[in-house]
Structure 1
Amino acid sequence: MDGLFLGLSGIDFGKKFRNNRDCAEYLYSIKWAGGYVCTVCGCTSGIKGRTSLHRRCSNCKYDESVTCNTLFHGVRMPLLKAFHLIFRTVCKKKGMSSVELATEVGVQQKTAWKFKLKIKNAMVQESQAKLQGDVQVDETLVGGYSEGCVGRSLEEKTAVLIAVEDIGGGKTGNIRMEVIESFKADIIGLGMDSMVATNAKIKTDEHKSYGKLKKEGRDIEMTKSEKGASLDQLHKQIMCFKLWLRGTHHKCKPSYLQTYIDEYVFRFNSRNARVSIFNSIIFKFMNAVPKIYVDLIVPCVQNT
């Protein structure tokens, strides 16, 4: 499709999208690029609707807007501001907090925060491929210092399972991260099943849960952690994620942690395709069903 926006330049973005109509026409070119299909009756014949940015079914006369049945559906802010929110969120290497976004775009912080949930929902769909080859797996705890809580206590913290592809030469392939309920073998096993391919060669530390999983027949190599040195690629990601969470977003509630995890995973796994990242998210918006606020929150275990 011609006319797609590719790039990370704010100046180029401003030239491409000058007003709400520019944004709507861009969505129009994406929505019906493969031909018109009525969402009510399935008819493939449509004519101009009540505006040039609507299509009307020739059969049932249903008039559909360019944002109908997409993640843009029901968004009350102008499309131009929505586009700016998406561009600033996904094209900046480390992203932006909702407070910064609200200030730059000129909306309320709560509006920016809720719209970011839609963006993160689109990001989730691109982070689901299972990891292949040599994969390092470990767990970590996310949360501040808790006085009196020692070791793997989940009283004030949240457990996260992380897996990374080790492609050799000190380089990391894709990563996956998932909030887990506990460090029990069956819970970790379910997390590994959802993130790592069955034919992958898994390397872990000597935690007893991995010993149980190995006895069950999984291809697991257990090694001494050596303070993280034996799983160096993985522990680099743990450190980078925690620094990103504190540095960019400062804090997050445990119930929203998975949404931040998905954002970080998307950013890392898309690092080699950043010039097309904005357009990728717009496509996801246009091909996702509308969701209300409560449905945008990724289910996340709360350890209380």
Structure 2
Amino acid sequence: MNLIEVTSKFPDELSATKHFEQARWGDTPTCAYCGSEKLSRRKKDHRFTCLKCNKSFSVTVNTMLHKTRIPLRRWLIAFSLVTDAKKGVPAKQLQRNLGVSYKTAWRMGMKMRKLMYDPAQKLDDVVEMDETYVGGKPRKGGYPNFTKKDKAYYDRAITQLEAEDFDISEGKRKKPWVPKGMGHKTIADRKTPVVGMVERDGNVIAKVMKTISAKKLKAMVEKNIDEEDSVLITDNHKGYNKMNRIIDHIKVDHQKMYSYRGINTNTIESFWAIIKRGIMGQYHKVSVKYLPDYIAEFVFKYNNRNKDDMFETLVTNAMKQKQN
């Protein structure tokens, strides 16, 4: 829902409050304390009073927006601004658009990112997995050297996958520029590792890690991928060396080639590009402490890219039970 639609549909605080009530209770509001349906509404502040236990409460009590002092209509406008921006909205922009202080805008932004954490569903079919490093300075890379021997290896792998009914599509071709040394100790010490996996034409899962190891990568695969019905495509990182023990696995050696007949990691690398452009272009700098929240925002937007309205998903998530 875009900004014009939001301001038109919710012209005042009462209409915004009723929208949150619908998301939380449906057509029948119930007491947040005793569950009774016998309620009266106070016109002054739109709070309810329970006629059974005599307690007063608002629609946000015990939800993710518990004790918020920000008008609910302003929250809806913020939801619209954030879900409509693929690469994110910085706190300074929220401050200007919402007419609040920078501190309030920053807190609202972080709260919305908390609403974007969704339980991950298992990935299957063709899954690409890759690691990236956020922060620090980029290093120059080199060009691949794809030999006839390499071509024969990938031809055999593709033939076997096609025989097992896997659809290896060509994917988008990119300039074969290969980033080198991203995991080098002197560089990685100033960067934060993020590991991601994406099902082609499906969802993405990404996780911030302190360090990358074969043990952690294996655990992530076992938790998030249906190993029986999937094939995993990765780069030549040494952490993936024994991955073929648990799943069909093809490695892309970026020193030799970037993409061949659909064998590539272009999809996950495109997701990394969205994150890095968002952080560099919109947020400019993100601390290690809050990086998982920003990653959750990009994952949420990617996984909901084909849905009609991310806005309503955010409203629904806001009315979920408050997390301790």
Q: Does 1:214 align with 2:214?
A: no
Task: Map 1:236-275; keep pairs closer than 5 Å.
Answer: 236-273=270-307, 275=308
Q: Does 1:30 align with 2:63?
A: no
Question: Structure 1 residues 247, 186: closer, same or farther in 2, change over 3 A?
Answer: same
Question: Structure 1 residues 232, 92: closer, same or farther in 2, change over 3 A?
Answer: closer
Given residue 287 of structure 1, which amino acid in structure 2 is its aligned partner? K
Uncovered stretches (5+) of structure 1, i.e. residues with no partner = 1-6, 167-171, 292-304
Check whether the contact 1:49–1:63 (CA below 8 A) recurs between aligned residues: no
Partner-residue secondary structure (3-state), 2:121: coil
CA displacement, residues 106-131 of structure 1 (integer Å, 9 cap, x when unaligned): 11112111111221111112x62222
Task: Map 1:161-200; keep pairs closer than 5 Å.
Answer: 161-166=195-200, 172-199=201-228, 200=230
Given residue 282 of structure 2, which amino acid in structure 1 is its aligned partner? T
Structure possessing the higher radius of gyration over alpha carbons: 2
Check whether the contact 2:7–2:77 (CA below 8 A) recurs between aligned residues: no
Check whether the contact 1:146–1:156 (CA below 8 A) recurs between aligned residues: no
Give the Cα separation in 2 of the matches to 1:233 and 1:31. 36
Partner-residue secondary structure (3-state), 1:71: coil
Check whether the contact 1:180–1:191 (CA below 8 A) recurs between aligned residues: no
Give the structure 2 partner of residue 78 of structure 1.
Answer: 71
Give the Cα separation in 1 of the matches to 2:116 and 2:182. 33
Give the Cα separation in 2 of the matches to 1:264 and 1:204. 21
Count residues with an aligned counterpart. 274
Give the structure 1 partner of residue 55 of structure 2.
Answer: 62
Check whether the contact 1:85–1:112 (CA below 8 A) recurs between aligned residues: no
Give the Cα separation in 2 of the matches to 1:98 and 1:249. 8
Q: Percent identity?
A: 26
Question: Structure 1 residues 184, 22: closer, same or farther in 2, change over 3 A?
Answer: same
User: TM-score, normalization: structure 2?
Assistant: 0.76
CA displacement, residues 139-186 of structure 1 (integer Å, 9 cap, x when unaligned): 111112289xx54133111111111112xxxxx422111112222111
Tell me the CA shift for residue 50 of structure 1.
4.2
Partner-residue secondary structure (3-state), 1:40: coil
1:121 to 114, 117, 129: 114
Give the structure 1 partner of residue 170 of structure 2.
Answer: none
Give the Cα separation in 2 of the matches to 1:239 and 1:252. 16
Partner-residue secondary structure (3-state), 1:271: coil
User: TM-score, normalization: structure 1?
Assistant: 0.81
Uncovered stretches (5+) of structure 2, i.e. residues with no partner = 140-180
Question: Structure 1 residues 34, 22: closer, same or farther in 2, change over 3 A?
Answer: closer
Partner-residue secondary structure (3-state), 2:122: coil
Give the Cα separation in 1 of the matches to 2:217 and 2:134. 16
Check whether the contact 1:131–1:164 (CA below 8 A) recurs between aligned residues: yes
Tell me the CA shift for residue 220 of structure 1.
2.3
Given residue 176 of structure 1, which amino acid in structure 2 is its aligned partner? I
Give the structure 2 partner of residue 135 of structure 1.
Answer: 127
Question: Structure 1 residues 178, 111: closer, same or farther in 2, change over 3 A?
Answer: same
Question: Structure 1 residues 198, 61: closer, same or farther in 2, change over 3 A?
Answer: farther
Question: Structure 1 residues 11, 36: closer, same or farther in 2, change over 3 A?
Answer: closer
Give the structure 2 partner of residue 296 of structure 1.
Answer: none
Residues 134-143 or 93-102, more deviating:
93-102
Question: Structure 1 residues 118, 188: closer, same or farther in 2, change over 3 A?
Answer: same
Partner-residue secondary structure (3-state), 1:132: strand
Given residue 138 of structure 1, which amino acid in structure 2 is its aligned partner? D
Give the structure 1 partner of residue 174 of structure 2.
Answer: none
Give the Cα separation in 2 of the matches to 1:288 and 1:220. 40
